[in-house]
Amino acid sequence: MASTISRFACRILCNRKTLECRVFAAGFDSSSNIFLGEKATKWQEQHEMIDGLTTNGILLMHPPNGSFSYNGENQQPPMWREVSVGGGIFSVRETRSAPQKGVQVS
């Protein structure tokens, strides 16, 4: 039986003690293995691990100074970031389907 892949799938893991959350972006096949389509942006990391971005991207908003209040005057607007399958954070690509990843953000 064939199974479709959700374009918006991601996994969010949160640690209540440390208040740390990790977001992993990917599609998952019927066996719960990570799956990226043939047109998805992929690259090889150190130690031969493959990382990549989902075709349409998983985006997170990163507000300056940790605040969502924005009055538009002396504040930077919130920044959008894209999450890779391996949990890396990158600047947003020029277009959702661009073949090149954005700049990695620490």
**Which has the higher per-residue pLDDT, 76 or 5?**
76
Query: What mean pLDDT comes out for the span 2-22?
Result: 73
Domain for residue 54, yes or no? Answer: yes
Give me the amino acid identity at 98.
A
pLDDT per residue over 28-85, tens digit each? Answer: 667 766 677 777 888 887 777 778 887 777 888 877 666 666 666 666 777 888 888 8
Identify whether 47 is part of a domain.
Answer: yes
Number of domains making up the chain: 1
Supply 2's token pair.
């064939």
Q: Which residues contact 19 (CB under 8 A, 6 or more apart)?
A: none
pLDDT value at 11 more than 50: yes
What is the distance between the alpha carbons of residues 63 and 76, in angstroms, rounded to a whole number?
8
Q: What distance in Å separates the CA atoms of residue 41 and residue 46, rounded to the nearest whole number?
A: 17
Residue 5 domain-assigned? Answer: no
Give residue 89's identity as a one-letter amino acid code: I
Amino acid of residue 66: G
Does residue 4 sit within a domain?
no
**With 60 as the cut, is the pLDDT of residue 8 above it?**
no
Domain that holds residue 63: 10-91
